Every structure is written in structure tokens, then in C-alpha cells.
Structure 1
Amino acid sequence: MRYITLLFTTIFCIILPATISAEHMVTVKLVNYIGNTDELTIEVKGEFFSLDPTLHIEEGVKYTLQLKKGELYLKQEGKKKQNLHGSFVLIPNTYDRNHVIYVNERPYLGALEFVMEEKNNIRPINQLPLEDYLKGVVPFEVFSSWGLETLKAQTLAARTYAVSKLGEVINDTISYQVYGGYEWDKNTTEAVEETEGEVITFNNRLIETFYSASNGGKTENNANVWGGTAMKYFPIKDDPYDPTHPWKFSMHQNQIDYSTIDFTNPNWWDNTIEEDEEISISIKNWLNRNGYPGKIKILDIPQFELNGDKLASGRSVTGSITITFMRQLLEGLILFEQVSLQNVNLNRIRPMIGGTLFKSYLIDSLELQDSVYTMKGRGFGHGVGMSQWGAHFMGEKGRTYKEIIRFYYPGTTIMDISSKTLKLEY
């Protein structure tokens, strides 16, 4: 892997314009749209070469790349498949927008290496210049219909993060930044081009550019969410620009009335449905991941409450929840079990219910009435750093991207990596 990455860089230094340096190349594993698979389709536009001089990839021809018994094979319709004897690399003769690689019909610029991952999967690895990588990131992180100044602010957050990862192999999922390849939008492309090279720093070091969809009207400090050192550029303060995004969800205390189950019916398990299907699916997935394999039916949630004091931002920290459930191990073998989390951090409970319902820790109330829990809150996400919706409304009010950055990351400085020497670690 490291050899190929270095080779990519050497080749790109030859074929790319002199204004792009090897330091500004991004290497991305393609996971989000590929998943885990032993077969991919590949097609190229423009002329590409590989590291195998006997292999010629024709423009406009669809190929199938297969992994069988630990070997990669390339197949063209009507022709005999070819054993690639290792990884497979495709590099454009010239780096430009007329040289594109389509993987499962999704377009990518730059070079691609296809490697075997965990003996069962083909993993494409894309390498391309930083600025073009960002053009494939920003439209997937924010609404491209928003104003240009908001898009520029999002671009600086994305670029700062990407620069901090230079030299690493990242992926295209939310674990890093969502990257959609060469599916650009003209508005976000303009935002990237007009801020080329600009990153956010504090004391001449790159910052951690955290952001969330909505902070609910109050920003949060990083230490309150993830621990560690509290950063000065993440203060707790009111945000008059964030639209607060109030939310609520309800959850029945009793999910299945055990007394009504007809155990004489051979289909009783499939016919037994929980009151809150979406929440139950989330809880069952959590239980499966945390030591309870097998099919599960949620019976009751006898306890769900908040505990302890709130943070200075008004966010709740700890809570308790108890789940009783049936678990089917083998046909006819049913276990009755209970999981209880007492006075734990809410970041252990929220994934059980699901972040699309339990949207933040800025909780206004949690009540139990007529055997139904109702939680109300504000915001969507952790609340640290920039609120994307707040940035949108700042832009709508005529604020520039530099003013947006100053508001959400106070005390920071915007610097140009093309003219400044920065430390690339946090």
C-alpha cells in the first residue's frame, strides 16, 4: 500500500501542473458507495495506463473486476478474463477533467488502485489533488443551494480537516468526510476555487474544525463532548443565528403485551410486532452489537430517565434506561433477558434509540404520561464549532465567510497553505 501511494505521488509529480505539489495529494479509500464486494464494474474516459505493460484499458469499454480465491481478475465481455497477479492500478496519461474512471458508474478523477481487502473484498483507493478532492466533498456535506459565503465557510472547515490528514489513507464516509468523487456542483466548486489554499489556524496550528447541523441556539465546548483539553476556540455561548430546530419523539413503555401472544400459533414470533417499530429496530441492532446475538423482540422499557446536573450549555450528560426483551437462539428456544444502563453518559443511550430521533443532548424535557415517554429538545448533533444552519442564516444576513468563521471559531486565523508553513498535526 505504502509503495503504491509513493508511486502515485511520483507519477502525479510528473503529469500534474507545477502548481500542484505532492504534499497536497489526498488518498481516499472508496467505501461509502462501494460497500463490501468481490465484483466491480470499471470504465474509463480518456487514456489511462497501468503498471502492467501487457494490459491495455480501452476507453468506453466496460470491464468487470472480480476477486476469486484471493486473486484479482479483469474481464471484458467476449474476451478471456485476465489474472492481474496482485493489485490493479489505473493512472491517467494527463490529469484533467477529460480523464475519468467510472467505478460502478460513479465517476472519479485522478489515479485508482484496486486492492484485495480482508481476502473477500475489492477496495478501490483514489488519489487526487486536495482542491479537487474538496470539490467532491463540500456538496455532500452541505446544501449546495445555500449562499456562496456559507459554502466558503464549509469549504474552509473541510479543507482544514483534509490538510490535517495529508499523508494518511482516509475513506469517503462520515468517519472522515463524505466524498462523492467527480460529482461536483457549480456553486460548491466556486466556493472551493475562490478560497483555494485557505485553512483555519490557532497559534499557527490547524484547528479541529468540528461542526454539526444545528446547535439548538447554544454552542458547546469540545471537552464536554469528547473529554480532553478544552479548546479556547470552542466556547459555550448563545448562537442567535441557529434556528434551534426543536424536536421531540415518543416511546411506549410497553412495546409488546406479553399476555396477548398466542404461543399456539406457529407464526407467533413473526406476528408479534412492537409498538414503536423504528425505535425497536434500533434497540435490537444495538443489542446485537453488544453481546446479544439472535432474533429479538422488545417487550418493555420500564425505565428511561435523565440523571444529574446539566452542563453550562444546558445539555444533559447522564441518564438511565432498562430494556426487557425476548431473544430467540434456536427454533423454539426463547430467552427472557434484561439490559439496564444506570447513570451512564447519554452517548451510550442515544445510539440505542437512534440519532435521527434523539437528535441532541440539548434536552428541554423528558416526561412519562399514560405509559408513554416523550422527550423534547433542540438542535441536531453535538453543537461544537460551526452550526451549518447557523452559518446558512449568517450568510443570508449578509455576513462573509470570514465573519462566519470568526463567530464559530473565535480567536482563529485564516491562513493560506500555499504561502505559509504550518504544523499539520492537531
Structure 2
Amino acid sequence: MKKKLILLFLLIYIALTSSGVDGEIGMSDYSLKNKRYLAHKHKIYKESILNRAIKDEVHMKMDIIENFPYLYSLPALPIIPPGGRVIKIGLYQNLKEVYISCNGNYSIYSSSGKIIIDENQVLSIKIPMGIIPSREIKKSGEIIKIKPQKMGNILNLIIKNTDYSYRVISFRGNFNIFLNSRGFLTVINELSLNEYLAGVVPNEMPSSFPLEALKAQSIVARTYTLTHLGKHKEEGFDLCSTVHCQVYGGLNTETITTNQAVRETTHKMVFYGDNLADTVYHSTCGGLTANVENVWQLPPVDYLKSVPTQDSYNTFQSEEDFKEFINNPVESFCQESRLFRWEKSYTREDLQNLLSESLPIILNYQAQLGDLIDISIERRSEDGRAQTLLIKGSLGEYRVKKDKIRWITSKGKINKDALPSTLFYIDKPEENIICFKGGGWGHGIGLCQFCAKGMALRGMNAEEIIEYFYPGCTLEVPDEKCEVKREKGNGRSEK
């Protein structure tokens, strides 16, 4: 009798804690290890069309959770006019689980149909661990589409940081989610061009900048978006959300001022003749911008030429002229930037270690440096940018060219450890110290964002700012019935 009672209690326990079976969206008890939260029970949606839709691709497990402890809704700023085509932005490509909520009812679409989820419910999408070897994952797997029922409502992406904390990011538009070829979830935000720009402008330019500077940034970013669409086509989206394309932060980063700049410039774009211009931009030029051919391995482009942003223009007849330009700068539109002038010093040993790691990546072969003997600028362009950096080591002599020079201190990648620009000279104040002294932040081509601020403060409008940095270009609102041609771009975007 005692054994039967134990068996009965065991069966009841299993029934209460069951996670569901095939053909259902199984709801397991949800609880955080942190004792502040109580366990939450979830409904079981039997024979859900959504779970049947992914039954053949058992790569993703989907649950609908009630009473989720991190239900969150950001109050939406005024609706952005739809303006522009619908684009797809890659938010994440390395997630194993994600939670989604909405400030209203929302729908999930699959190849088998549609299911509506209540605003108080959270959608959970996870990859069951260890059941699908990566070689079995299909590149063209099913895409799950998630859309708010009501126009203007927002979707929240809830990402687990630890067992006790979550990060909540809100977005306009819709989500597309699928399992990528590496075995992780790809999350895509699908939205209109204007809605996208509302989340780009405050991340690419401080919202405290004057309105005309923000409007110039909006126009340039809109044009850049269209000239670089499809950059990540093979990964299932148009552009990524990082500096590789343009930094996009969603609704959390929007401000009233930057949204005003986007609205007031709706449809405006930069043209060179009949084609869209490739409006690359950067933070700080340091006194003059760069010719595109002096930064990247590209032919000259008429509107991506060096322009001075200070009272006098130095032609740098000698290295001493350049040092004078760096050490005793005259007034420039971008002089308020903290990196208008900069200095980075390294011990010989530290720089040697950085070069040993960076050179094989930059040069794409096993470059062995050995002991660092000397480092010098072998050639400089007429706009002041270092063109060839000569590095001599006990095991070899190497040359790094153009913008890749910035990567020598950052293990061959553009990140916070990279040199701010190639507008520098090398100083050796002590035998064991090597110092880079320079100006500007970024590649130096096209619009200088801090100059845009300085120009706006002096009364210039967005159109005047843009036409200064892209000589020969004009602002136009294209006929939406006509296909907009793209000027042959350089495909580069590192700021």
C-alpha cells in the first residue's frame, strides 16, 4: 500500500511538472534561482499550430510564459512616419535563448499559420542543448515572424545575462528569428527606413548636438543605408547593428531631438549626379578630411576628397610641417572633440608584443617580428595621413598600409585599442618609449561629425554642411516610383 501511494504521488508530480510533448508548446515551471522570485506556472497550449510548424525543424523550442518577472514596456516616443522602404537589421547571431514581449497583443507567424499572444504573455525561444549536430542544420530553415497586432506598439527583446538578470531592449517594427548555420539564433528587426534611422542617429551622433547637425547626420545615414543595403545578404539581413555598418540601438536610445531630425528630413538623400552618393562619415577629422584613395585601396572618388576644416590649410611640404600642424593646431570646426588631438605611448616591449599579434592578422600571413628594432612612417599623403608604416624586427621587415595602420595596436582589428586615426607622427622621447602623436578619430573620409556641430553652431544648415563635405553633391527627394541608382560605393564602414 505504501509503495502504491508513493507511486501515485510520483505520477501526480510528473503530471504537474511536465514540459509537454510533440504537438504542444510545453510549459515547464519557471523560477529564478534568486529567492526573490516565486515560481511561475505556465499554460500548456495543446496542438498549437506554432509548435507543429517547427516540428520538422526541432532546432528551436518555443514556450509561452505567463507572469514572467521581467515584463517590461518602454513608453513609445511619437510615431515615426513610415518613410522609406522596409529593411532588415541583424541584431544578434549568437543567442541560445531569447524572450519576447509586447505592450499589446502580438502575433507569431509561421509556414503553418498564425497564433495571437496576449500582452501579458512572454514568448520563449530556445535551442535544446545537444540534440542537433551543426552539420545537420539547414541554412534555409524556417523563419518565425513576430509582429505587434496594433500599429505603433513595440516589441521587447529580453536577453538573459545570468541566472538572476535580464537585459530588455525595445524595438519598433517586427522580429524575424531563425536558426543560423552556426547553430545559434539569429534575431532580425524588420522595420521602415525612418524607424531604423530613429535608432541610428542618437548612436552615431550625440543628441545634444545642434538640430542642423543632427539633420545632416540623418540625411547622411539614410543615404549610407541605401548604398550599403545587402552587405549581410548571405546572413539573411541587410545591415548589422554595429560599427561595421551603423550603430543601431532601437527604441531605448531614441530621443525627441534626434527623432525630430529624422522626421524633418524624411526622404532626403545625397546624390552625385543621378546616383546616390556613398556617404561614409567619421567622428573627428582633426583639421582636414581625407581622400578616399589615401585611406582604403580604392580609386579616387570625386566627392570623397580632402577638405580643410580650419582657417589655414597646410600642404605638409615636410615632416616638420606636419608636426607643427599636430602640436600647434589653429582653430578648427571639430576642435571640441576630445580626440581633436591625442597621444598614445607604449614601452618598446609592449608595442613589440602588440605588433607580434597584429601583423599576422593584418598582413594575412605568418609574419614573425622578433625583437622590435624600429618603427617609422615611410610615406605620408598630401592630406597628412600615414600611407606606409615601416616596421623592422630582428626576424623580418614589414610594411603596413593606409587605414590598416590603425590596427597595429589592437590585435589586427578595429576596436577601442586601435590608434584613433592615421593622422599622426611617431616620437621617441626615451630609448624605451614609443609615442604616437596625432589628431582626429576615424578614417577621416566624408562628413566630420564634430565639424558638423561646429558648423551648425556658426549658423550653417544641414544642406550647407553636407555639400561642404561631399563636394559636387546635392540633396534631393527621389521620385519613389523610380528605382534609385547607387553610386559605386567602397563597401567600407569602419568609422
Task: Please tell me the TM-score bracket, short chain as reference.
Answer: 0.7 to 0.9
Residue 387 (structure 2) aligned to one of 295, 317, 321: 317
Task: Tell me which moved more, 371-380 or 196-205.
Answer: 371-380
Partner residue in 2 for 1:251: 346
Task: Indicate yes or no: 2:288 matched with 1:218.
Answer: yes
8 Å contact from structure 1 (residues 147, 396) kept in 2? yes
Aligned pairs, how many? 351
Secondary structure of residue in 2 paired with 1:174: coil
CA 119–380 in structure 1, closer or farther in 2 if over 3 Å, else same: closer
Q: Report how far residue 315 of structure 1 moved.
A: 1.6
Correspondences of 1:140-289 after superposition (within 5 Å): 140-166=203-229, 169-183=238-252, 184-240=254-310, 241-243=333-335, 245-253=340-348, 255=349, 280=353, 284=357
Give the CA deviation at 1:42. Answer: 1.5
Deviation at 1:322, TM superposition (A): 4.7
Runs of 4+ in 1 over 6 A off after TM superposition: none
Q: Distance in 2 between matches of 1:348 and 1:411?
A: 29
Q: Deviations over 1:266-310 (max 9, x none)?
A: xxxxxxxxx57xx95686476589677xxxxx98533222113x2
- SS state at 2:202 partner: helix
Please tell me whether Structure 1 or Structure 2 has the larger radius of gyration of its CA atoms.
Answer: 2
Confirm or deny that 1:45 pairs with 2:103.
Answer: yes
CA distance in 2, matches of 1:245, 1:420: 44
Aligned-partner Cα distance in 1 for 2:132–2:174: 23
> Residue by residue, what CA displacement relative to the aligned partner does 1:49-93 show, whole Å, maximum 9, x if unpaired?
12244744221323321012349xxxxxxxxxxxxx943211222
- Of 80, 83, 87, 2:143 maps to 87
- Secondary structure of 2:157's counterpart equals strand
C-alpha distance in 2 between matches for 1:54 and 1:246: 57
Spell out the pairing of 1:329-344 with structure 2 (5 A cutoff). Answer: 340-344=396-400
Counterpart position of 2:329: none
**Equivalent position of 2:28 in the other structure:** none
Match of 1:350, SS state, is helix
Map 1:113-132 → 2, pairs under 5 A: 113-132=176-195
User: CA-atom RMSD, angstroms?
Assistant: 3.0
Which of 458, 462, 469 is equivalent to 1:408?
469
Deviation at 1:134, TM superposition (A): 0.4
Q: In structure 2, do the counterparts of structure 1 residues 408 and 124 end up closer, same or farther at CA, with 3 Å as the change threshold?
A: same
- Indicate if the aligned counterparts of 1:321 and 1:349 stay in contact, CA closer than 8 A: no
- RCO comparison, higher one (Cα < 8 Å, 6+): 1
Q: What amino acid does structure 2 have at the position aligned with 1:87?
A: I
CA contact (8 A) 1:205 1:422 kept: no
Q: Which amino acid aligns with 2:85?
A: H
Q: Give the structure 1 partner of residue 401 of structure 2.
A: 345
Distance 1:215 1:200 in 2: 20
**What does residue 89 of structure 2 align with?**
28
Q: Does 1:137 align with 2:229?
A: no
CA gap of 1:387–1:210, structure 2 versus 1, over 3 A, is: same
Unpaired runs of 5+ residues, structure 2, are: 1-78, 134-140, 160-167, 311-332, 488-495
Structure 1 residue 304 corresponds to structure 2 residue 396? no
User: Is the contact between residue 24 and residue 166 of structure 1 (CA under 8 Å) also seen in structure 2?
Assistant: no
Paired with 2:207 and 2:356, the residues of 1 have a C-alpha distance of 34
Shift of 1:234: 2.0
Contact 2:377 2:425 in 1 (8 A): no
| Matches of 2:227 and 2:401, distance apart in 1 | 29
| Counterpart check, 1:377 vs 2:438 | yes
TM-score between the two structures when normalised by the length of structure 2: 0.64
1:127-165 Cα offsets, whole Å, 9 max, x none, are 111111100111110111111000001101100011224
- State which drifts further: 175-184 or 341-350: 341-350
Q: Cα 1:188–1:347, aligned 2, differ >3 Å: closer, same or farther?
A: same
TM-score normalised by length of structure 1: 0.74
Q: Is the 8 A contact 2:288 2:309 kept in 1?
A: yes
Query: In the TM superposition, what are the counterparts of 1:64-103 in structure 2 within 5 Å?
Result: 64-68=124-128, 69-70=131-132, 86-96=142-152, 98-103=153-158
Q: Distance in 2 between matches of 1:251 and 1:421?
A: 55
Deviates more, 1:239-248 or 1:414-423: 414-423
Letter in 2 for 1:181: G
Task: Give the corresponding residue for 1:259.
Answer: none
CA distance in 2, matches of 1:127, 1:237: 37
Q: Does 1:62 align with 2:62?
A: no
> Following the alignment from structure 1 to structure 2, what is the Cα–Cα distance between the partners of residues 288 and 155?
35
In structure 1, stretches of 5+ residues that fail to align are 1-16, 72-84, 256-274, 293-297, 325-337
Query: Cα distance 1:175–1:48, how it changes in 2: closer, same or farther (>3 A)?
Result: same
